[in-house]
Amino acid sequence: MVKRLRIISLISFILGTALIMSASYFELFFPPKNAFYLGIFGDIILTGIRSVGVSLITSTFINVVKFWVESTETLVKYDFVNRLTKDEMKDLKAKIETELYFRDNNHDKDNFYNFFERELSSLLNECYYKSYRTKIECHIYENYISKTIRKKFEIVNPSKRECNIKIPFGAEMQRVEQVENDRLYQIKRFVVNTDDFTKDINERIRILDNCPENSDAYCIKVHTFWDIKVKKKCTIDMVIETIVPLNDVCFSNKITRPCKDYNVIFILNDPSYQISWHSFGFMGNHKDRIIEEPMDNGLEIGFKDWILPGDGVVISITQCEKKNV
């Protein structure tokens, strides 16, 4: 901005000076008695040229003075920032941050603020969740636990360009006796806005059984994804049913994008079990903003402010202790 102002001011000053000098030069060497004298019409032209030159020099002087003395409020009011290049905006931002946060501190460039600012700025033009709601209904049977997981979330694209989003499906599962692997993870519903892709996503899902050569209990891998394009906003509605052994008592729910309105409902249809939970990530450090509403057969957890990718909750169930009579 300063560089452009200097260049424009210099050009205006040189041009104004040249116009004044050229008019004076013509009057000096071509007086009224000269054969090249143009009469009244020529005088009018020379006066106009001189006036333009004076105006350029005067306006240049005024603009330079205004630039140095006008208040911050005036600069903002007259769109000073909009006249800056992207690099100039970054330089201005860095100078303001230095004055605000680091004037009295001995921070180097590799500090937490700069790290956080880099990570956060990369998210500002990416899609985010306007709302993310999950409802889990848990049923306990003789040899396994089944969960019906309903998710509905709205994705908003704040940028002017269309963005591509991958909707992941998958889990690491344990084997369950007397239950076929293809029943462990089933997508019962998948709707994007008003388009139903349930059949399509089920044709793409892959279940890989690594149990014979893997000592890990979670040896069954389920994975697929669905690509969607988001111009302004998009609503995803899905229902997934899972079956896990009785010893798999934890359920985690983690978001992958910034989220404005987060909500989880967990329902357990068995009074002999109790529910416990904890949050992690940014949510875990701001428990005062978490809303917990106990229910007759479950609980509801909400966070009515922004949370970050990687935040979420873990819900676990345990058998109630039997009271001795």
* In the predicted structure, residue 321 carries a pLDDT above the cut 80: no
Report the alpha-carbon distance of residue 206 to residue 200 in Å, rounded.
13
| Nearest-5° Cα angle at 150, 138 to 168 | 115
Neighbours of 162 (CB within 10 A): 10
Residue 112 lies in a domain: no
pLDDT of residue 33: 54
Q: Does 114 map to a domain?
A: no
For residue 203, is pLDDT > 50?
Answer: yes
pTM for this model (two decimals)? 0.70
**Host domain of residue 180:** 128-319
What is the pLDDT averaged over residues 37-52? 67
The number of domains in the chain is: 2
182 and 294 part of one domain: yes
- The larger pLDDT score, comparing residue 35 to residue 143, is at 143
Distances (CA, A) of 58 to 25, 44, 62, 261: 21, 21, 6, 56
Domain with residue 289: its CATH number is 2.60.40
Residue 93, in any domain of the structure: no
Phi, psi (degrees; rounded to nearest 5) at 136: -115, 125
d(CA 121, CA 212): 45
**What is the per-residue pLDDT for 70?**
58
The per-residue pLDDT for 325 is: 45
Contact (CB, 8 A) for 177 and 225? no
Mean predicted confidence (pLDDT) in 148-156: 96
Residues 76 and 192 in one domain: no
Higher-pLDDT residue of 34, 198: 198
